[in-house]
Structure 1
Amino acid sequence: MFGIYLKRELGRRKKAALVIALGLALGIALVITVDSVSAGMAQAQDKVLKSLYGLGTDMTVTKARTAPAAGGSGGRDFSFDAKSGGSSTQSSDRVTTQGGQTLKSALVTEIAAEKGVASAVGALSLNVTKVDGSFTQGTAKSSGGGTGGPGGGTGSTGRPQVQGGGANFDVNSYSVVGVDVAHQGLGPLSAMKITSGRTFASAQTGAKAAVVSASYAKEKKYKVGSTFKVSGTKVTVIGVATPDSGESDTDVFVPLKVAQTLGDAKNQVTTVYVKATDSQRISAVKKAITADIPGTTVTTSADLASTVSGSLSTASDLATSVGTWLSVAVLAAAFLVAALLTSSAVSRRVREFGTLKALGWPSRNVTRQVVGESMVNGLIGGALGIALGVGAAWAVTAISPKLTAQPGSTGGAGGMGGGPGGGGPGQQASRNTMEIALSAPVSLTTIALAVGLAVTGGLIAGAMGGWRASRMRPADALRSVS
C-alpha cells in the first residue's frame, strides 16, 4: 500500500520532484568534480616529488657544507703542466663533491637501525668540470725590429714585446651520482626508467660502468657501449634512462664505490635516502635522526612539497581552499532549497494529509510518506549528480590541461635534502620547470561520498517536510474545503 501510494504521488508531482533532484544533483556534481581534481593535483604533485626524491623515499639526510676558512676564496682552481713548444694541448678534470658536507658511510647503517626506518641507502653526488684546450706561445719582438726569444731580442734598442699567442679552452660541467647498486629500489636511480640497455647488476659494486640520462646521452651522442673518461677513469655506458617525470638533474650514474674513488671520498656519502615503515611515523623518524645525529638536515617529502611553485601549486591551493568552500556552500544551498521546496509542497497538501489523518492514518505514516518521497528525490538527484560529476571529471582528464611545477629550495644542505645531481634539487631542479598533465580520477570513495550526500539531502528535506506534515490536524482539511 505504502509503495503504491508513494509511486502515485511522485508521478503526480514530476516537475517538483525534478526541481528538487536537479538542485541536489548540481551540488553533488560539484563535490565530485572538486574531489576528483584535488586527487589529480595530489597525483601530479607526487610525480614532481618522485622525480626529485625517488620512488619510495620519505626523507633525505644531509649535512650543510661549512663556510670557507678566513682568507680562503672557496673557489675552484686548475693546474696544468706547462709544456714547451709552439702549441700545447691541455686537459684537466676537476671532481668535487656537492650537495653539502660528506657523511661517513657508517651513518647509513646507523640510520637504518633507527626505530621506524624500513630501509636507508647512501649516495654520493659529484660535479665534474672538464677543461680542454691549448696554449699558444707568443713571440717576443724588440721595438727595433730584431727578434728573439722570450728573453729579449738581439741588437734591439727598445724593450721587447710579446706578440701573438693565447689560449683557447672549452669548459664542460656535468653531474655524477654514485648509487648503491645492491639497493636500487631506493635512491636517485629509482626515479629513472631504463629506455635502452640495462641497469647495474647487484654484483657490479666496483664496475667501471655508467647509466646516463637520455638528455645527456643525446647531447654527447652516447649510446649503449660508448666509452668516456671521468677524471682519467674509463667507463662504459651500459644503459640510457629517462626520469618518470620532468627532467633529470643527474647526467651520469655510477656505482657508489667508483664515485667514491673518483671524488677521493672513500667510505663517504653526501645524501642518505630513507624510507619509513609507515607514513604516519615520518615525523617521529625525522625527530629521532635529528636528535641522534647532530648537525644533519632531515628533509621530508612534506618539506619538499611546500617548496613546489608554479601553476600546479596555485591550482592545488584553489582546489583545496576555494573549491572546497565553494562545494560546501553550493551543497548547503542545495540541501536548504530541497528542504524548503519539500516543506512548501507539504503546505500545499493540507487537504490530502488532513483527509488521510481523518481516515485513520497516524502521524508517523504521514511523516514516512513525506520522508519516502524526499529520499527518492535525493537518490534521483544523487544519480544525476554522479553522472554530471563523472562527466566533468572525464572532460578534465580528456583535455589534460598542462600545469607547471618549479621545485624550490628548503634552505638545507644543497637546497632540498642534497638530492642527486648538484646540491640536490634546491640548486639544479629549481632551474627546471616541469610540465604535468592534470587528470581527475574518480574513486569509489568519491562515489560513496556522493551516495551519502544524496541520502543526507533526502533525509534533511524529508525531516523538515515530515515534521510539518505531522503537525497537521484533520480539521485543517475540513477548513480547506470550499
Structure 2
Amino acid sequence: MFFTYLRRELRRRRRAALVVASGLALGIALVIVVTSVSSGTGKAQDKVLESLYGLGTDMTVTKAAEPPSDSGSDRPRRPRFEFDAQDEGSDEEQSSDRVMVQGFQTLASSTVDEVGELSGVADAVGGLSLQVVKVSGQFRRGQVQQDGRSGQGGPDGGPGGGGSSPQGRVQGGGAEFDVNSYTVYGTDVTESALGPLTSSEITTGRTFEATETDAEVAVVDSAYAEEKELEAGDTVTVKGTEYKVIGIATATSGDAAANLYIPLKQAQTLADAEDEVTTVYVKATDSQRIDDVKSAIRKNVPGTTVTTSADLADTVSGSLSTASSLATGVGRWLSVTVLVAAFLVAGLLTSSAVSRRVREFGTLKALGWSSGRVTRQVAGEAVVTGLVGGVLGIALGLAGAYAVTSASPTLQAQLGGGTGGPGGGGPGGPGRQAARTLDVALSAPVDLTTLALAVGLALAGGLVAGAFGGLRASRLRPADALRRVE
C-alpha cells in the first residue's frame, strides 16, 4: 500500500517533484565538481612538491644558514681558472672545470645516522648537490707587424733622441672560451626509495645498483641528454673523470633535480667533501608524526633547518595556488550556500504541496490513517524525490568533472628559491637557487568518497523536505481538513 500510493502520488505530481529534484541536483552537482577540483589541485600541488625533492620524502634537513659577518671573511671563494701557456704556434684547446658544493653549506655524513635513529623516522638518506662550472676554449696568437715612426726620442729611440725606431703592433689573435654550467647530484645508491631521483622515471637504460656505491657511472636527465646528445652507453667527463651513462631519467613532474646523478662517494670525491652531505631526506613512519619528527630533529640535531611538505606548499604561488584557494575557500562556501538554499527550497515546496493536499490527508485520517502514517508517507515521497535529485546531481557532477579533466587547463606553479638555500633540501631543492615556474595540468578526479557524500546529501535533502512536509501534515485534524473547500 505504501509503495503503491507513493508511486501514484509521484506520478501525479511529477512536475513538482521534478522541480524539487532539480534544485537538489544542482546543489549536489556543485558539491561534486568543487570537491573534485579541490582534490585535483591538491594532487597537482603534490606533484609540484614531489618534483622539489622526490616522491616519498616527508621532510628534508639542511644546515642552517649562518649570519654573514661584517668583515665578509666567511664569504665563499669564487672559482679560479688557470690555463698554462702553450708553446709558440700552438693553438690547442684548453679546458678547466671547478666542482663546488651547492650553497657552500654541508653537514657531516653522521647526521644521516643521527636523524635515522630518532623516534618516528622510518628512513633517512643523505645526498650531495654540486655545481660544476667548465671553461673551455683556445687562445689565438696574433701577428706582430713592424713599422717605422719618427719621434723625439734619444739614442735607440729613447727619450730626448732625434732618431726613429721601429714600432711593433699586434694584429689579430684573441681568445674564445665557452662557459658550461650544470648540476651534479650525489645519491646514495643503496637507498633508492628516497631522494630527488625518485621524482624521475628511467626511460632508457637502468638505474643504479646497490653495489655501485663507488662506481664511475651516471644517470642523466633526459632534457640534458637531449641537449648534449647523450645516450645510454656514452661517457661524460667531470673534472677529468669519465662516467659511463647507464640510464636516462625523465622527470615525471616539473623539471629534474639535477643534470647528472652519480654515486654519493663519487660526488664527495669530486668536491673534496669526504663524509659530507648537503641534504638529508627523511621519511616518517606515519604522516601524523611529521610535526613530532620535525621537533625532535630540531632538538637533537642543532644547527639544522628542517623543511616539511607543508613548508614547501607555502612557497608555491601562481595560478595553481589561486585555484586551490578558490576551490577550498570560495568554492566550498558557495557549494554549501547553494546546497542549504536547495534544501530550504525543497522543504518549502514540500510543505506547500502538503497544504494543497489538506482534503486528501483529512480523508486518509478519516479512513483510519494515523498521523505517523501520514507523516511517513510524506517523508517517503520526499526521500524518493531527494534520491532522484541525487542521481541527477551525480550525473551532472560527473559530467562537470569529466569536462574539467578533458579540458585539462594548465596552471602555473611559481616556486621561490626557499629558505633552504641553494642546494639545500628546502624549498627549491637541490640545485635550485632562483625562483622558477612549472606548468601543471589540472584534473578533477571523482572518488568513491565524493559519490558517497553525494548520496548522503541526497538523503539529507529528502529528509529535510520530508520533515517540513511531515510536520505540516501531522498537525492536520480530519474535521478541519474535510471542512476546507478548494
TM-score, normalising length: structure 2: 0.92
Is the 1:177–1:421 contact (alpha carbons within 8 Å) kept by the matching residues of 2?
no
- Residues in 2 aligned to 1:391 and 1:25: alpha-carbon distance in whole angstroms: 13
SS of match in other structure, 1:207:
coil
Q: CA deviation at 1:168?
A: 1.4
Determine the structure 1 residue equivalent to 2:339. Answer: 331
Is the 2:32–2:394 contact (alpha carbons within 8 Å) kept by the matching residues of 1?
yes
Q: Which of 191, 194, 200 is equivalent to 2:202?
A: 194
Determine the structure 1 residue equivalent to 2:106. Answer: 102
Structure 1 gap ranges (5+): 147-151
- Residues in 1 aligned to 2:423 and 2:105: alpha-carbon distance in whole angstroms: 12
- Residues in 2 aligned to 1:269 and 1:475: alpha-carbon distance in whole angstroms: 89
- Residues in 1 aligned to 2:263 and 2:257: alpha-carbon distance in whole angstroms: 17
The equivalences for 1:42-441 within 5 A come to: 42-66=42-66, 67=68, 70=72, 74-86=77-89, 87=91, 89-99=93-103, 101-138=105-142, 144=148, 157=165, 163-414=171-422, 417-418=425-426, 422-423=430-431, 425=432, 427=433, 430-431=435-436, 433-441=437-445
Alpha carbons of structure 1 residues 139 and 57: separation in structure 2 relative to 1, 3 Å? same
- Residues in 1 aligned to 2:183 and 2:189: alpha-carbon distance in whole angstroms: 18
- Residues in 2 aligned to 1:230 and 1:421: alpha-carbon distance in whole angstroms: 22
- Residues in 2 aligned to 1:127 and 1:153: alpha-carbon distance in whole angstroms: 54
- Residues in 1 aligned to 2:48 and 2:341: alpha-carbon distance in whole angstroms: 37
Is the 2:123–2:284 contact (alpha carbons within 8 Å) kept by the matching residues of 1?
yes
Is the 1:141–1:153 contact (alpha carbons within 8 Å) kept by the matching residues of 2?
no
Q: CA deviation at 1:291?
A: 1.5
Q: CA deviation at 1:109?
A: 0.7
Determine the structure 2 residue equivalent to 1:149. Answer: none
Q: CA deviation at 1:409?
A: 3.0
Is the 2:416–2:428 contact (alpha carbons within 8 Å) kept by the matching residues of 1?
no
Is the 2:417–2:427 contact (alpha carbons within 8 Å) kept by the matching residues of 1?
no
Is the 1:367–1:469 contact (alpha carbons within 8 Å) kept by the matching residues of 2?
yes
Q: CA deviation at 1:3?
A: 2.2
Structure 1 stretch displaced more, 259-268 or 468-477 = 468-477
Structure 1 stretch displaced more, 305-314 or 156-165 = 156-165
- Residues in 2 aligned to 1:455 and 1:245: alpha-carbon distance in whole angstroms: 40
- Residues in 2 aligned to 1:350 and 1:421: alpha-carbon distance in whole angstroms: 71
Structure 2 gap ranges (5+): 151-155
SS of match in other structure, 1:365:
helix
Is the 2:136–2:177 contact (alpha carbons within 8 Å) kept by the matching residues of 1?
yes
- Residues in 2 aligned to 1:70 and 1:356: alpha-carbon distance in whole angstroms: 95
SS of match in other structure, 2:93:
strand
**Equivalent residue letter for 2:317:** S
- Residues in 1 aligned to 2:8 and 2:169: alpha-carbon distance in whole angstroms: 113
Alpha carbons of structure 1 residues 332 and 153: separation in structure 2 relative to 1, 3 Å? farther
Q: CA deviation at 1:350?
A: 1.1
Q: CA deviation at 1:64?
A: 3.9
Aligned length: 473
- Residues in 1 aligned to 2:274 and 2:9: alpha-carbon distance in whole angstroms: 84
- Residues in 1 aligned to 2:31 and 2:428: alpha-carbon distance in whole angstroms: 40
**Equivalent residue letter for 1:18:** L
Determine the structure 1 residue equivalent to 2:153. Answer: none
Alpha carbons of structure 1 residues 206 and 192: separation in structure 2 relative to 1, 3 Å? same
Q: CA deviation at 1:138?
A: 4.7
SS of match in other structure, 2:415:
coil
TM-score, normalising length: structure 1: 0.92
Alignment of 1:16 with 2:16, yes or no, is yes
Alpha carbons of structure 1 residues 82 and 392: separation in structure 2 relative to 1, 3 Å? same
**Equivalent residue letter for 1:192:** S
Is the 1:142–1:153 contact (alpha carbons within 8 Å) kept by the matching residues of 2?
no
Alpha carbons of structure 1 residues 339 and 421: separation in structure 2 relative to 1, 3 Å? closer
**Equivalent residue letter for 1:456:** A
**Equivalent residue letter for 2:8:** R
- Residues in 1 aligned to 2:137 and 2:306: alpha-carbon distance in whole angstroms: 42
Alpha carbons of structure 1 residues 198 and 481: separation in structure 2 relative to 1, 3 Å? same
SS of match in other structure, 1:157:
strand
Determine the structure 2 residue equivalent to 1:451. Answer: 455
SS of match in other structure, 1:318:
helix
Q: CA deviation at 1:30?
A: 0.7
Alpha carbons of structure 1 residues 221 and 454: separation in structure 2 relative to 1, 3 Å? same
- Residues in 1 aligned to 2:325 and 2:482: alpha-carbon distance in whole angstroms: 59
Alpha carbons of structure 1 residues 93 and 418: separation in structure 2 relative to 1, 3 Å? farther
- Residues in 1 aligned to 2:274 and 2:112: alpha-carbon distance in whole angstroms: 14
Q: CA deviation at 1:141?
A: 6.2
- Residues in 1 aligned to 2:275 and 2:164: alpha-carbon distance in whole angstroms: 62
Structure 1 stretch displaced more, 35-44 or 251-260 = 35-44
Is the 2:128–2:187 contact (alpha carbons within 8 Å) kept by the matching residues of 1?
yes
Alpha carbons of structure 1 residues 45 and 421: separation in structure 2 relative to 1, 3 Å? closer
- Residues in 2 aligned to 1:127 and 1:324: alpha-carbon distance in whole angstroms: 45
Alignment of 1:475 with 2:479, yes or no, is yes
Q: CA deviation at 1:82?
A: 2.9
Alpha carbons of structure 1 residues 134 and 110: separation in structure 2 relative to 1, 3 Å? same
Question: What is the alpha-carbon root mean square deviation over aligned residues?
Answer: 2.4
